[in-house]
Structure 1
Amino acid sequence: MKKIIFFDLDGTIYLNNELLPFAKELFLYLQKEEIYYVFLTNNSSTSKVNYFNKLNNFGIKTSLDNIYSSIDHLLSYLAQNNLKKLYLLGTNDLKEELINAGYDLVEKYQKGAVERVVVGFDKSLTYQKLVEASFYIQDGVKVISTHLDERCPYQGGYYLPDAGSILKLLNSTAKIKDLTILGKPHKAMILNVLKEKGFKKAEALIIGDRYYTDVLAGINANIESAMILTGESKVADLEKVDYRPTYIFKDLKAVLKYLQKQEKEKR
C-alpha cells in the first residue's frame, strides 16, 4: 500500500472547470486511510491559492501543503542559484508570485539587464514579448522554463498552446543554447517533495493523464507510475515508448477500486 500519491490536476482530477467522476469519493477514501497526497502540476499560469480555492469549491478538502506546482519549483531554483533579475514570459499570477518573492522583472529589452529569461504558460503573450525574449537569448542569456508541455487540454476536446510551444518558437528564432526545464518529466519536483515530507521512493506513486510528463516523471524519479485515460494520453501512445507505466487506469473509479483492493489484501 502506498503512503504518498502524486496526482496531476487538469485531465486527471478535473477537466478545465468540470470535476471528473469519483474524484470526491477517491479523496475521501485517501483521507480516511491517511494516505498522503500531493497535487503536482506543471501549470504555471496560476498560484497555489487559486488551485486551493478551485479544489475546495469542487468539494475536495485540501490544504496549501498538498499542492506543489512548477511555480514553487521555480522559486526554489531561483533562490538556490541566487538569481534576481529576470525577463518573464508568463501570466500575471506568475508575475505576482515572483515580485512578491523579491525578484526584479525587467519589462523592456535592455542589453545586459537580466540574468535569465523565464518561460511559462503565457495567456497574454505578444509579439513584442517574443521579440525581446529572443534578443536576450541571442545575447547569450540562459533560459529557464517552468515546464515543457506543448499544449494543455481545454473544454470541448480542444487544446491551448503551452510553454513548450513558446519555447519552440523562441528556439527557431534565437537558437536557445542553455535551457533549464523545471517541471515534469524531470524528477526534481517529486524528489523535493519526498525529501521534504519524509517519504521513501518505494512508498510513492504518481498518477496522471500525460505519458510524456506525468508517467515519465515517475519513471525518472524511480517511483511507480500510473497513466489515467481521462485526459490526453491514450493506450495507443504506449506502442512506441521505451518505458511503460506501472499501471493503466480507465478513470478515477478504477483508481479507487485498486486502492481499496490493495488495502484489503494488506489486512
Structure 2
Amino acid sequence: MKLEDKIFEGIHQPVSPQLNEKLKRIKHVALDMDGTIYNGSTLFPYTIEFLAGLRKAGIGYSFLTNNPSKNTHDYLSHLAKMGIKANIEEMYTSALGTIDYLKNNYPEVKRLFILGTPSMIAEFEENGFISTADDADDIPDAVVVSFDTSLTYARLCRAAWWISRQLVYIATNPDWVCPTDQAVILVDCGAICACLEGATKRQPDVVVGKPDPRMLDGILQRYGLRSDEIAMVGDRLYTDVKMAVNANALGVLVLSGEATITDTIHAAVKADIIADNVATFGALLLAAKNS
C-alpha cells in the first residue's frame, strides 16, 4: 500500500485542492472529548500519538467539551489519569461558557437553582454565584439546567416549578445523550430539557455550549487566531460540526462516538471532513502541512 493510501484510509470523502488549502491554514485544533479522544473512562489508543504529532508540528490544541458534569480541575485530573497532561488554559467546558454568558448578559443574576452535579455547582459557586436549595422559600434569580448525573425527582420538579414562574432559564448544552463505554444510555441535558418542556411548555431562553460559536471565542482571543485557522473536531453533527459551521471554522466529524456514516447522508449540517477517528484526521492534517 502506498503512503498516500495509508494517509487517506478512513477519510470518507475526496480531499479536494480547496480542502487541502484549508488544512494548510490550520494553526489550532479544538477537540471535543467524550467520543473523540476517549469514550467514558477509556482513552482511545491513538490519542496520545495524535496529540504528540500536533505538538511536533507546532499546531496548538484545546479541549472543548459540552459535558459540564465535571469542573475544570476534575477534567484535568481525569485527563492526567489517562496520560494526557493539560493545563487550565487548554480546557473550556459548557459550564464555564454558561458562567461567562450569565456574567456578560445577566450581571444582576446571582442566585441560581441548578440541576447539575456537585462538581459543577461548586464551579459556579467559585465564580461568585449562590446555589439555592430545593425550597419554595429559597427563590432564585434564574434556573440553570445541565447534564446532571446526580439528578433526583424532587429537584427536577423544583426546577419545573421555577421555570413555570418565568424565571431566566439557561441550559448548559443541547446534547441528548452522553457517550459511554458502558451498557447504558446516559441521558444528557437536551433530554432533561425535553422532559421539563413537557411539564412546563417552555424551552430554555438560551442553550449555551456547542453549537453556539461563542464557545470558540476564548480560543480565538487567547491565541490571536482567525476562525479559519481553527479546526473543530468532534463526534456530533448537531453540536461540534454545527458550531464549526456557525463560527466559519473547519468542521471535522469523527466516527468514534455518537455519529455514524449513515447519519451524515441526509444531515442538514455538512462536515468539511469525515474521518474514522482523530488519528486519521491528524495524518491528513500533517500531510497537508507538509505538501
- TM-score, normalised on structure 1? 0.94
- Aligned match of 2:173: 147
In the alignment of these two chains, the number of paired residues is 265
Contact 1:142–1:177, Cα closer than 8 Å, also in 2: no
Distance (whole Å) between structure 2 residues aligned to residue 181 and residue 93 of structure 1: 20
Q: What's the offset of the Cα at 1:22?
A: 1.3
Q: What's the offset of the Cα at 1:101?
A: 1.7
- Aligned match of 2:34: 10
CA change 1:64–1:132 in 2 (3 A) is same
Distance (whole Å) between structure 2 residues aligned to residue 142 and residue 205 of structure 1: 33
Contact 1:143–1:180, Cα closer than 8 Å, also in 2: yes
Distance (whole Å) between structure 2 residues aligned to residue 158 and residue 251 of structure 1: 23
- Comparing 226-235 with 52-61, greater Cα deviation is found at 52-61
Which letter maps to 2:40? N
Determine whether 1:41 maps to 2:86: no
Distance (whole Å) between structure 1 residues aligned to residue 111 and residue 94 of structure 2: 19
Distance (whole Å) between structure 2 residues aligned to residue 42 and residue 7 of structure 1: 11
Q: Deviations over 1:65-99 (max 9, x none)?
A: 11111111112112212120110100000111111
- Aligned match of 1:57: 81
Which letter maps to 1:48? T
CA change 1:197–1:45 in 2 (3 A) is same
CA change 1:158–1:131 in 2 (3 A) is closer
Which letter maps to 1:226? V
Q: What's the offset of the Cα at 1:192?
A: 3.3
- Aligned match of 2:243: 217
Contact 1:208–1:215, Cα closer than 8 Å, also in 2: yes
Superposed CA RMSD in Å reads 1.5
Distance (whole Å) between structure 1 residues aligned to residue 176 and residue 262 of structure 2: 19
Percent of paired sites with the same residue: 31
- Aligned match of 2:14: none
CA change 1:59–1:177 in 2 (3 A) is closer
Return the match for 1:174 from 192, 200, 216. Answer: 200
Q: What's the offset of the Cα at 1:187?
A: 0.9
Return the match for 1:28 from 52, 55, 67. Answer: 52
Gaps in structure 2 of 5+ consecutive residues: 1-23
Which stretches of structure 1, 4 residues or more, deviate above 4 A after TM superposition? none
Contact 2:57–2:286, Cα closer than 8 Å, also in 1: no
Which letter maps to 2:197? N
SS of 1:155's equivalent? coil
- Aligned match of 1:68: 92
Determine whether 1:130 maps to 2:159: no
Which letter maps to 1:58? M
- Aligned match of 1:204: 230
- Aligned match of 1:241: 267
- Aligned match of 2:16: none
Distance (whole Å) between structure 1 residues aligned to residue 258 and residue 112 of structure 2: 32
Distance (whole Å) between structure 2 residues aligned to residue 172 and residue 192 of structure 1: 34
- Aligned match of 2:256: 230
**Whose RCO is larger (CA < 8 A, sep 6+)?**
2
Distance (whole Å) between structure 2 residues aligned to residue 50 and residue 16 of structure 1: 14
Gaps in structure 1 of 5+ consecutive residues: none
CA change 1:39–1:243 in 2 (3 A) is same
Q: What's the offset of the Cα at 1:177?
A: 5.3
- Comparing 187-196 with 233-242, greater Cα deviation is found at 187-196
